[in-house]
Amino acid sequence: MYKLVLYENDNKLKVLYNYSRRKDATYRLKSLTSKKVSLKKEVVYKNKELKEVSYRILLTKKREEGDKSVIVRDGYGKILEKIMNDPNEVVISVSDYEIEEQYSVTGANRKLSASEILKNVLLNKISEKNTKQVLMLNNKLIIDSLVINMVTCKNVHEVIRLYNYLRKLCWDKSIPNVVFFGEVHKQDKGLWYKRIHEQTGVSYNRLYRKISR
């Protein structure tokens, strides 16, 4: 039996798939790890704080006599003997894995990826009469036009990352009627808090925050 096992920061999260044939497991591993995401998940909220994360998928099988694991190292190059010397399973292959970051967006009934925000929020119904401006307010991305959409990110670094992703794609594709204004100035924050609260119903306490789950 072959397993594809997801690891977060070198800690086992869960078994993704089980296969009876190695070639099937290898094919699925290649398929999973070759898939590109718009913006990968880099931080998670755990134990009341944000932590940086990275992901890998390990291809393993039941350990038999004479089996030797491939070398598994952490991000600093240290050999992870605990994983390699598991008495029950041997590691056949290790591959980095990207998980798509998902964002809460006002007006959406589910979380959206960066590429979905670009397509379904920023560029949706854009025109000369519906020019959109993009701003950063604490850990929120604001897309303002005839209506206001607010995207909540985990922290300020994450909103900058999303802002730069959208700005670069719009620049590269010469998309008109989108203006990127950067961070809202301190003296203007009060006006934006009021507008967003009145149009979206988002509480002031949430708007003031710089860190979210």
What pLDDT is attached to residue 112? 97
Ranges assigned E (strand) in 20-168: 43-46, 49-52, 55-62, 89-97, 104-105, 132-137, 140-144, 148-152
- 118 and 154 together in one domain: yes
Amino acid at 13: L
Question: Is there a single domain that holds both residue 89 and residue 114?
Answer: no
pTM as predicted: 0.88
Q: What is the pLDDT of residues 71-101, one digit of tens each?
A: 999 888 899 999 999 999 999 999 999 999 9
Residue 12 has pLDDT above 90, yes or no: yes
* Residue where the block lists tokens 């591993």: 29
Asked which of 59, 80, 97 is the last residue of a domain, the reply is 97
163 domain residue, yes or no:
yes
Summarize pLDDT for 179-198 with one digit per residue, the tens. Answer: 999 999 999 999 999 999 99
> How many degrees, rounded to 5, is the angle at CA 87 between CA 83 and CA 88?
95
Do 111 and 93 lie in one domain? The reply is no
Same domain, residue pair 13 and 79: yes
Q: Among residues 27, 62, 97, which one ends one of the domains?
A: 97
Structural element, H or E, at residue 205 = helix 204-208
Number of domains in the chain: 2
What was the pLDDT predicted at 160?
Answer: 97
Same domain, 186 and 203: yes
Q: Report residue 190 as tokens.
A: 């009060």
Q: What is the pLDDT of residue 45?
A: 84
Which DSSP category does 123 fall into? S
Residue 174 clears pLDDT 90, i.e. is over it: yes
Distance of alpha carbon 69 from alpha carbon 87, whole angstroms? 11
Residues 119 and 188 in one domain: yes
Rg of the chain over Cα atoms, rounded to whole angstroms, equals 22
| Domain housing 8 | 2-97
In a domain, 213, yes or no: no
Stated as kind and residue range, the H or E segment containing 179 is strand 178-183
